[in-house]
Structure 1
Amino acid sequence: MSGLELLSEQGFRLDGRRAGELRQLRARMGVFAQADGSAYLEQGNTKALAVVYGPHEVRGSRGKAPAAQALVNCQYSMATFSTGERKRRPHGDRASGEMSLHLKQTFEAAVLTQLYPRSQIDIYVQILQADGGNYCASVNAATLAIIDAGIPLRDYVCACSAGFLEDTPLADLNHAEEAAGGPQLALALLPQAGQIALLEMSARLHADHLERILDAASRACRALHALLDQVVRSHLRHDAALLAK
């Protein structure tokens, strides 16, 4: 990343955060009664909605159903009003296809698919407002939706981005920081196990800096784990209170 205006001499970013500080996170589970699981999440000004259906019988040809595990189907899209640019094809563009594939790879590594042979799990994520970290917000929202659906995971899947400005790694990038260019990393982590579900670099980065930027993203993912766990526990307490009435 470049541009001294993104980080003040006192170590503050444009939105007032320190280098390793997360954007504010808000989330709700069970926002759609019609779905098996759903969640709405705000990570800074990036807003994501995730809906999960399944496990259910494989749609279409049964020949594509894995004999020993569930088929994970992911679809990512951006609302036409999610950015300042009006998109003509919010669902079928190449970027959305790549993001759908990344989500599929991420959750195939986390969902206990062997418990549901010859079945299908559908994960739909839509970005309602984009301000950086779209993939990460999608993963975090989908994790909550999967938990809401009662589908077992190996661990929470927590995702966060990180960049490098001058000699300082920055965690949880917003749109202005992403637009500045430079090497950026997106990490999806199973924090308790310490396993990486997905790791993507947007540009070349000197090997000497890789450990620092990866450490910044890992620490941010572990901080997100605590926040997502609070959301889940709050949701469960709310459901328990309703059942007690």
Structure 2
Amino acid sequence: MAGLELLSDQGYRLDGRKPTELRKVRARMGVFGQADGSAYIEQGNTKALAVVYGPHEVRGSRVRALHDRAVINCQYSMATFSTAERKRRPHGDRRASEVSLQLQQTFEAAVLTSLYPRSQIDIYVKVLQSDGGNYSACVNAATLAVVDAGIPLRDYVCSCSAGMVDEQPLADLCHAEEAGGGTALSLALLPRGGQLALLQMDARLHQDHLEPLLDAAMTGCRGLSTVLDTVVREHLQEVSTLTAQ
């Protein structure tokens, strides 16, 4: 990642954040009554929606059913109005398939699938507005939706991106920082045990930069874990209040 314009002489980023500062996060759970679980999240100007169905019987061929655990099915898509580009975005494009697989691998590491043998859990995520960190926003939204569905997790699975500008690691990249030309790293973490659910880079990275980038992303994940925990607790409080009325 290059370009002095991404980082001021005072060490501030384009949106005024410090290098390791997260974008402002807003989130809600239970936004769809018809689904088993749902959540909406805003990370800066990136907005994502997640919906969960299941556990339920495996759909389609029964050959897909696993006798010892649940099948995790993830589908990622972007709304046609999510970016300034108005090009057609087919539902099954290559990028969507890649992110869908990344999400599946992430939640296979986090969900206690062994509790639901011969069943299926569907996780659908859609980016409504894109401004960097799409995968991370989808993971964080999906985590809240899975919790809303009452499906046990080993831990919150939280995701944050990171990149390097002028030897300075930046956490939670916006679109301009992702498009700056260097390596962007995406990390999904189970914070309590420090288990990596997924680590993905889109370009080569000098080994000297890997550790500071990982540290920035992991610190971001832990900060997001605190935010998600607050959202879950506030939602439970609302549900308890409504139930008591």
TM-score by length of 2: 0.99
Q: Is the 1:79–1:90 contact (alpha carbons within 8 Å) kept by the matching residues of 2?
A: no
Aligned partners of 1:74, 1:154: CA distance in 2, in Å?
18
| 2:169 alignment partner in structure 1 | 169
> In the TM superposition, what is the alpha-carbon distance from 1:209 to its structure 2 partner?
1.2
| 2:41 alignment partner in structure 1 | 41
Give the secondary structure class of the aligned counterpart of 1:102: helix
| 1:223 alignment partner in structure 2 | 223
Aligned partners of 1:23, 1:8: CA distance in 2, in Å?
18
Q: Is the 1:190–1:196 contact (alpha carbons within 8 Å) kept by the matching residues of 2?
A: yes
**One-letter code of the match for 1:231?**
V
| 1:69 alignment partner in structure 2 | 69
Aligned partners of 1:90, 1:15: CA distance in 2, in Å?
32
Question: Runs of at least 4 residues of structure 1 off by over 6 A?
Answer: none
Aligned partners of 2:107, 2:160: CA distance in 1, in Å?
15
> In the TM superposition, what is the alpha-carbon distance from 1:154 to its structure 2 partner?
0.3
What pairs with 1:151-230 in structure 2 (closer than 5 Å)? Answer: 151-230=151-230
Deviations 1:57-79 (A, max 9, x none): 00011111011000000000000
Deviations 1:149-175 (A, max 9, x none): 000000000000000001100000000
> In the TM superposition, what is the alpha-carbon distance from 1:87 to its structure 2 partner?
3.3
Q: Is the 1:78–1:90 contact (alpha carbons within 8 Å) kept by the matching residues of 2?
A: no
> In the TM superposition, what is the alpha-carbon distance from 1:92 to its structure 2 partner?
1.2
Aligned partners of 1:91, 1:146: CA distance in 2, in Å?
23
Q: Is the 1:103–1:139 contact (alpha carbons within 8 Å) kept by the matching residues of 2?
A: yes
Deviations 1:86-109 (A, max 9, x none): 232341110000000000000001
Give the secondary structure class of the aligned counterpart of 1:240: helix
> In the TM superposition, what is the alpha-carbon distance from 1:225 to its structure 2 partner?
0.3
| 1:128 alignment partner in structure 2 | 128
Q: Does 1:94 align with 2:94?
A: yes
> In the TM superposition, what is the alpha-carbon distance from 1:52 to its structure 2 partner?
0.1
Give the secondary structure class of the aligned counterpart of 1:67: coil
What pairs with 1:75-114 in structure 2 (closer than 5 Å)? Answer: 75-114=75-114
| 2:59 alignment partner in structure 1 | 59
Aligned partners of 1:160, 1:148: CA distance in 2, in Å?
21
Question: Any gaps of 5 or more consecutive residues in structure 2?
Answer: none
| 1:25 alignment partner in structure 2 | 25
Q: Does 1:142 align with 2:136?
A: no
| 1:14 alignment partner in structure 2 | 14
Aligned partners of 2:193, 2:173: CA distance in 1, in Å?
25
Q: Is the 1:45–1:129 contact (alpha carbons within 8 Å) kept by the matching residues of 2?
A: yes
Identity over aligned pairs, percent = 72
Aligned partners of 2:194, 2:237: CA distance in 1, in Å?
28
**One-letter code of the match for 2:161?**
S
> In the TM superposition, what is the alpha-carbon distance from 1:202 to its structure 2 partner?
1.2
Deviations 1:206-233 (A, max 9, x none): 1111100000000000000000000000
Give the secondary structure class of the aligned counterpart of 2:52: strand
TM-score by length of 1: 0.99
Question: Any gaps of 5 or more consecutive residues in structure 1?
Answer: none
Would you say how many aligned residue pairs link Structure 1 and Structure 2? 245
**One-letter code of the match for 1:172?**
D
Aligned partners of 2:17, 2:200: CA distance in 1, in Å?
24
